[in-house]
Structure 1
Amino acid sequence: MINFKQNTIALRILTVFLVSFTINRKNLCSNHPFFTPIKSPSVHFATAHSSLAEMIFDGHLSFENTEHTAKDFGGRYHFMPSAVLYPKSVSDISSVVKNIFQMGETTELTVGARGHGHSLEGQAQAHRGVVINMESLREPEMSFHTGIMPYVDVSAGELWINILHKSLKHGLAPKSWTDYLHLTVGGTLSNAGISGQAFEHGPQIDNVYQLQVVTGTGEVVICSEEQHSDLFHAVLGGLGQFGIITRARIALEPAPKKVKWIRALYSDFTIFSKDQERLIASDNSFNYIEGFVIINRTGLLDNWRSSFSSKDPIQANQFTSEGRVLFCLEVAKYFNLEESDHIDKDIDNLLSDLNYIQSTLFLSEVSYVDFLDRVHVSELKLQEKGLWEVPHPWLNLLIPRSSVHLFAQEVFGNILSDTSNGPVLIYPVNKSRWKNGTSMVTPAENVFYLIAFLSSAIPSSTGKDGLEHILTQHQRILNFCGRSNLGIKQYLPHYRTQEEWKAHFGTFWEVFSKRKSIYDPLAILAPGQRIFQKRRHLDNEDLKLNSSVDKGLDGNPSKDII
């Protein structure tokens, strides 16, 4: 609790903060069109922060040591907040949002929900606003239901890796994953959550039964396919624009014990993509299907993880990769110990239909946990070398099947001359198996590819591993996509103007913007996405109409506002 003495101290700190903020403010992106520098703190600005400082929370609100929330995994944008909320209850979050909403047009305060800090372009930051540290929200504990349709209720600030470990104690696990598990539930559900299981189970947003959400008016709402379905669909993949996810009910399935992990190389993209598409279309296939691109990498076959072994070591040693563009198929088959006697035969049957380079087949057998948490191993190694806390100018694209061959021809080996700065993932998904209605935007075709350029930049470098070179390369890729009308969409999108956002959402923009006016009428939430500007002149009648979620787009009355 914050007592009277703590409030007094907080107000004194606030006064010093406001003065020093004006004199010494350092904003790396002050020229951004959505943020206008303040020459001096206004009366409204000081009053708003005084109002926050006087609030009582189950957790606590801090005006000090906020620098860490102005950093993220991308390492490119640094927007300083005014305060950070460390909530211990949903009411803490609701109270802050409601307080700011009730200030109406008198304040520029906004709210950003921050999970584990893995956004790429400052999306979880709130310039001069309040950042909510969602990892502080851990009550109540995970609650498992092990019936016919098993699920787990979890806090949105929980990490997926923790859900994995605890669900395995019940012999269960979530169906769909991201490649990296040290992310929060709320963070991935606000985007999509895509990995090599998405071709079969859809993204993580397709595997949620129910959500608890704090809207932009401070209302706490339980929503699902049956209750407040419009808000439910809006929030999933909604980039944080319509509400802060505070709790989620995640679908589970029986968990396997072991994984056969396989890699094989291709030198022809047409053959590679044909095999990938054959695998995702099959009813009897692998459980995980991805791939990556390798350009001008030497010593390739000596650099697999130590857990891999070659199917034919003699032929593998004769294979050379220098100067070639190669495509690696990466697949996995899950199994339990009682299936050990036939799992190898099953895999051989699946591989027999593929046209990879026979000498480049590598196999490994690992535990289910080790496979799912594989990226964390690389993270720890990079941390030891000081190469994890560097800028990550990632570019994630969703490319229609009809355009992917033209894209590959122009980009791989031409615009992109090597892949030494980080992996380039490439794999198809079948959208016909996904659910409709969420806010996630994808290409119009049923089959499209995720191509992710996961670069790391060396801060002091001005060469090919430097930030400017990588950004220029990415812009060349985007320019080519635009000129050629490839019909791509960005995943984890980042744009600078609302016109670009409108183009991104296309015909869905009208629904998206209307939902915004209903669930976050003052545009308080997720300012770091830079989709909507904080509204300061909303008509009072509009405020009354939008002050709760009593009606969704379908006009149905709300029943579960709590």
Structure 2
Amino acid sequence: MFYMISILVISIGVIISQPADTLSFVPPRNISDKFRNDLVAIDLASTDYGHIVQKKPAAVFYPTSTDDIRSLIQFANNNSSPLGIAARGHGHSVRGQCMTDNGVVVNMTNLINHKSGPGIFISQTPALGSYADVGGEQLWIDVLTQTLKRGLSPVSWTDYLYLSVGGTLSNAGIGGQTFRFGPQISNVFELDVITGKGDFVTCSKDKSPELFYAVLGGLGQFGIITRARIALQPALKRVKWIRMLYNDFSAISRDQERLISLNGRGEKDGVDYLEGLLLMRQGPLDVSSYPKSDQPKIVSLVTQYGIIYLLELAKYYDDSTRDSVDKELQVLVKGLSFVPGFYFAKDVEYIYFLNRVHYDELILRKQGLWDVPHPWLNIFLPKSRISDFDFGVFKNILLKESVTVGIVKFYPMNRNKWEDKMSCVIPDEDVFYTVALLYSTRIFDWEAYDAVNKQLLEFCEKNGIPVKQYLPYYETQRDWINHFGSKWTNFQEMKANFDPNKILSPGQRIFN
């Protein structure tokens, strides 16, 4: 018996019950009540945070246990025509990666409401230290909230915390701590995965390592993550949050690289977080987070130079280091080449700092500026070409053509914090940069911003700057082969081993 949900339509004060359409396939009896294809469910699963791609699934699957997901995948393989299966966490993809056309979208967050899911459990062993066993459906903000109750915290973060654990681990999970601790995929001890064949596998570096390394950064191609064992460390209580402005790119890149090189020399030698951002004359230029008395001079500086670079760093501390943290920062900042007089410091709670983007989200939602198209582009490029990129892209595309850029981030990472066996692809230099163009546009002009993205990529190709997309989107398999490079053959083999019918994550457009 199919699962039917009533849609309440309010018309002139009358509530009308409207049944869903019949499913286009006959589901197995043990999970038949988990499917929905009413308008509400289908509409939600037909779009994502990007609001660019739309794909209509045949149904949305609401699991109440990991066994339900396993039964679904086994059914999808045995169906007369294999069904595409897309796992959807918080739906934060920007090019339809969490969607499927005429397949089944798995609403992973439905597991949060059921105690049979993995949940969030904190433990400790002599071998691993402190760790959290976390359901793939869980949001990182909830992981942070629960671990802080025990005085603990994961070590590596994305800038935005309302993302699912399984979602970020399927990509890499990068942010301002990556230079120090590596991406989130470098801080996982163990996974539970339901493969594309419907097998439930517990894997780690020592147990089923092929699957473990394939899934981390594997773009959802080999299995659905249902549990991850995440490394924890003692959480500090407060953050010294520093911002400095530069008018010279070579100066800020040199300072960024020096600061990340301090990592590993001792707990007190380096910073805990580091990112860079652009402030551009054409805006939007939001200086509301700076002291009111300083806002005019910041605007004047940006107007004068057209483009200003912002170095943002943070140092965590608690009661035991309260008296020394300012001295440590003075040592770190001494010799940096920021513009004199443009040094700004805040003292905030640890959870406030990590969750800072959410507070901006609340404002944008009130203004109706959150659920809009996001034609984002995220790339990795080697340190040796970052100055060429600044000149060719920041100065001669974004600034010269007066592109309204929104948020543009750039910051270096250390390659030795990444595990090359994992599926994620990065440049082959000891230090490499990420550049993120995080546009928010109106519904009718996102293509103009996408044209800028293509211009950027064409500039890099023409000038021999090797870039790798993060959160990649390509239109042909040849593009994907070029993206994975030497990893492509192994990637194909892992697909054949763990998802031979190619049913998982069709929205990535790699094999479909």
TM over 0.5: yes
C-alpha root-mean-square deviation of aligned residues, in Å? 2.2
Equivalent residue number for residue 187 of structure 1: 167
Change (3 A) 1:5 1:134: closer
1:255-270 matches, within 5 Å, as 255-270=235-250
How many Å separate the matches in 2 of 1:314 and 1:91? Answer: 56
Secondary structure, aligned partner of 2:241: strand
Runs of 4+ in 1 over 4 A off after TM superposition: 4-9, 297-300, 313-319
Q: Where does structure 1 lack aligned partners over 5 or more consecutive residues?
A: 19-45, 461-465, 534-562
1:484 equivalenced with 2:463 (yes/no): yes
- How many residue pairs match? The answer is 485
How many Å separate the matches in 1 of 2:282 and 2:5? Answer: 60
Equivalent residue number for residue 485 of structure 2: 506
How many Å separate the matches in 2 of 1:83 and 1:408? Answer: 45
How many Å separate the matches in 1 of 2:2 and 2:58? Answer: 21
Equivalent residue number for residue 141 of structure 1: 119
1:293 equivalenced with 2:278 (yes/no): yes
Is the 1:297–1:321 Cα contact (8 Å) retained in structure 2?
A: no
Identify which of 93, 111, 115 aligns with 2:85.
111
How many Å separate the matches in 2 of 1:72 and 1:244? Answer: 19
Change (3 A) 1:58 1:209: farther
How many Å separate the matches in 2 of 1:474 and 1:220? Answer: 40
Identify which of 391, 397, 402 aligns with 1:415.
397
Give 1:196 deviation, angstroms: 0.6
1:61 equivalenced with 2:41 (yes/no): no
Equivalent residue number for residue 37 of structure 1: none
Q: Where does structure 2 lack aligned partners over 5 or more consecutive residues?
A: 7-17
1:79-99 deviation per Cα after TM superposition (whole angstroms, max 9, x unaligned): 000011111111100001001
How many Å separate the matches in 1 of 2:208 and 2:298? Answer: 59
How many Å separate the matches in 1 of 2:32 and 2:261? Answer: 50
TM-score with structure 2 setting the length: 0.91
Equivalent residue number for residue 332 of structure 1: 314
How many Å separate the matches in 2 of 1:511 and 1:314? Answer: 52
TM-score with structure 1 setting the length: 0.83
Equivalent residue number for residue 29 of structure 1: none
How many Å separate the matches in 2 of 1:189 and 1:298? Answer: 33
Equivalent residue number for residue 11 of structure 2: none
Change (3 A) 1:143 1:359: same
How many Å separate the matches in 2 of 1:58 and 1:170? Answer: 40
Identify which of 436, 450, 455 aligns with 2:434.
450
Give 1:154 deviation, angstroms: 1.0
Percent identity over paired residues: 42
Is the 1:289–1:330 Cα contact (8 Å) retained in structure 2?
A: yes
Equivalent residue number for residue 71 of structure 1: 47
1:528 equivalenced with 2:512 (yes/no): no
Report the structure, 1 or 2, having the larger strand content.
2
Give 1:507 deviation, angstroms: 1.1
Deviates more, 1:340-349 or 1:191-200: 340-349
Secondary structure, aligned partner of 1:192: coil
Equivalent residue number for residue 560 of structure 1: none
Equivalent residue number for residue 43 of structure 1: none
1:27-78 deviation per Cα after TM superposition (whole angstroms, max 9, x unaligned): xxxxxxxxxxxxxxxxxxx4xx11x1x4323972112231110110111001
1:340-359 matches, within 5 Å, as 340-359=322-341
Equivalent residue number for residue 517 of structure 1: 496
1:439 equivalenced with 2:419 (yes/no): no
1:93 equivalenced with 2:69 (yes/no): yes
Give the letter aligned to residue 73 of structure 1: Y
Identify which of 383, 387, 392 aligns with 1:405.
387
Give 1:305 deviation, angstroms: 1.2
Give 1:387 deviation, angstroms: 0.5
Identify which of 300, 320, 338 aligns with 2:301.
320
Equivalent residue number for residue 232 of structure 1: 212
Give the letter aligned to residue 76 of structure 1: I
Identify which of 171, 185, 205 aligns with 1:205.
185
Give 1:421 deviation, angstroms: 3.9
Is the 1:295–1:412 Cα contact (8 Å) retained in structure 2?
A: no
Change (3 A) 1:222 1:299: closer
